[in-house]
Chain A
Amino acid sequence: MSDVAIGIHDVTKRFGRTVAVKNATLEISQGEFFSLLGPSGSGKTTLLRIIAGLEAPDGGRVTIAGKDVTDLPPYARGVGMVFQDFLLFPHMTVAENIQFPLRMQHANRATRDERLAWIVKLLRIDGLEGRFPHQLSGGQQQRVALARGLISRPALLLLDEPLANLDRELRKEMEVEVRRYQRELGIPFVYVTHNQEEALTMSDRIAVMRAGGFEQVAPKLDVYIAPATAFVASFVGHANRLRGNLRDGMLDWKGHRLALPKIEGATDGDAIDYFIKCEHLTIAPAGTSVGANLNRVDGTIRDIIFKGQVADHLVVLGDGTEIVVSEAASLPRVKAGDAVSITWAPDAGRSFRALDT
């Protein structure tokens, strides 16, 4: 398969007794925006540093464009990288920072200037070339770091939580732009983040990592709609977790009998985690009759948290349990204190055998 840009084969990395990456195998295609998503300590940054050559794996191989690079030092791999905190060279101007990779490749002056003109235009940082990094705003530093990563037209670009230190507005803007550059340049981006929204906004495919291993590697919609494990279901999207026991093919959750998708191999009495995303729940005035095929629980609205187009409705059930329902914010029918019913289609949720937590 010539389409494979990066191959990771059975890669393992230990730090002392901790296993940071454990038997990871993965292929990333040419032109793909690929995200490594996971909480801190899940091994995503270590895996990225292994691809860059900044860490040597204890076992396994790494290939870039079909060539085995496992034993190559970082400077011989020809990758671009955007670091967390940007890590611009403080003693170099913007232009010198951006041209650094070309200088290392002994590119001549004409090429360097031509490429610089191209990249500053692409990233809309023209006019800043003579400044020093500390004279730039966070967003400008971010663009310079991106420009440095891209100027040599590398075979791939690695990004290590590059947006983590930007404020929310700027992050939203950059998410869209990073995605646009990836489309325009057509090279694979490998993007490490702990922020699921970032991963969902930008990626083609996502690998969800936990404790050094992959929980799920799939196109982003699959990860969102069809999480493969309970961990993915709880980490991606905003979901309510209902933990109960299987009884006659139904979920017995705090006295409610709820329909749920079938679980392979589960038998009566097993502990079950049922995840239902907040936006798949619907609020209806109490006592509204619902279709027999829908699940329904009753409660009282405690608060409504406005979030723009949607609002999170916090509903307290009779026993004090809280359920979050995302509904259109313009919904005027309910207010805090109202008695309501929550309904949903059982198939909208995913059920797993309970994790030990």
Chain B
Amino acid sequence: MRNRLTPITLGTMLVALYLFLFAPVIYLVYASFARDTVWPFPWHFTVAGYVDLAGARAYQQALWNSVVLASAAAFLAMALSAMGSIAVLKYRHRWRGAFAIIIVSPMFVAELLIGISTLIFNRKVLGLPGNMGSAIVANAVHGMAFGFLIMLAQLVRYDWRLDDAAQVFGAGPYRTFWYVTLPNIWPAMLGAFVLSFLLAFNNLEISFYNLGAIPTLPSLAWGSLRYGLKPELFALAALVNGVVFAAFAVIYALMRTGLVRFGYRGI
């Protein structure tokens, strides 16, 4: 029919974007199995990078640091953004606009600026050396803003009278949250968590200035640029992508079988 051309064109653009975004990732995975990671053409298959990785303490430590940093920052960000979005959406308080602007504002400050300003603040004002705590907090500020936006966008249509209903039927504030609010807003909270985790996990600029000598995956990659990227790094990146891809496959399978419906009201 007359409308069929539009979705085809738009869909093609989406596919092209996917190809563009994933091409370097696919290349990384491909190169991780090559004898020469810098110039992997023609391809000589090897798993040497993975074998080396198994014995490389520095990389494992960096991965562990990244996971700890990202998990903690994401958890903080999720909690704060969930609380903030409920406050702003549910209560018609005269300060709600101001609160929303303040909580979302870190999103509009460049990562580089967050990095150097927290560095200056910690080092010169508080006299702290580079440490995990500062890096977690700095990443959480950034993640909170993004999480807040995600939650606002998804919960703007949530009908808070459901909470009133629960209270009328005898649920106190905690049970209302547990039995009514949470089951409805968890997809949005998960979205906030995943996004903040992602931002913190791969953040170079904020963490770089706040961690001092503690290595994370991005800073390790940055530091090893000088000597050329090592095969272990390619292998590690490939493994991380393997895990991510597996997670996506599981989500897709669960949606396929109808076990899980992601999103609130069809989102």
Contacts and interface: CB of A to CB of B under 8 A. Distances in A.
A56 interface: yes
B2 interface: yes
A66 interface: no
A73 B1 CA distance: 10
Contacts of A71: 2
Contacts, number: 3
A73 B2 CA distance: 8
Contacts of A73: 2
Contacts of B1: 56
B265 to A, nearest CB: 16
A56 B2 CA distance: 10
Contacts of B2: 71, 73
Interface residues of A, number: 3
A56 B1 CA distance: 8
Nearest to A56: B1
Interface string A56-71: 1000000000000001
Nearest to A72: B2
A268 B2 CA distance: 57
B116 to A, nearest CB: 40
Interface string B1-32: 11000000000000000000000000000000
A56 B3 CA distance: 10
B1 to A, nearest CB: 5
Interface in A76-105: none
Contacts of A56: 1
Interface string A22-66: 000000000000000000000000000000000010000000000
A260 to B, nearest CB: 50
Nearest to B2: A73
Nearest to A73: B2
A89 B105 CA distance: 30
B175 to A, nearest CB: 33
A71 B2 CA distance: 9
B3 to A, nearest CB: 8
A73 B6 CA distance: 15
B83 to A, nearest CB: 28
A73 B3 CA distance: 9
Nearest to A71: B2
A259 B114 CA distance: 90
A264 B1 CA distance: 47
A61 to B, nearest CB: 16
B170 to A, nearest CB: 30
Interface string B84-115: 00000000000000000000000000000000
B75 to A, nearest CB: 37
A208 to B, nearest CB: 30
A77 to B, nearest CB: 13
A220 B48 CA distance: 84
Interface string B42-53: 000000000000
Nearest to B1: A56
A347 B1 CA distance: 53
A121 B116 CA distance: 64
B98 to A, nearest CB: 22
Interface in B45-94: none
B158 to A, nearest CB: 18
B2 to A, nearest CB: 6
A54 to B, nearest CB: 11
B185 to A, nearest CB: 24
3 contacts: A56-B1, A71-B2, A73-B2
Interface of A: 56, 71, 73
Interface of B: 1-2
Smallest CB-CB A-B distances: 3 pairs:
A56-B1, A73-B2, A71-B2
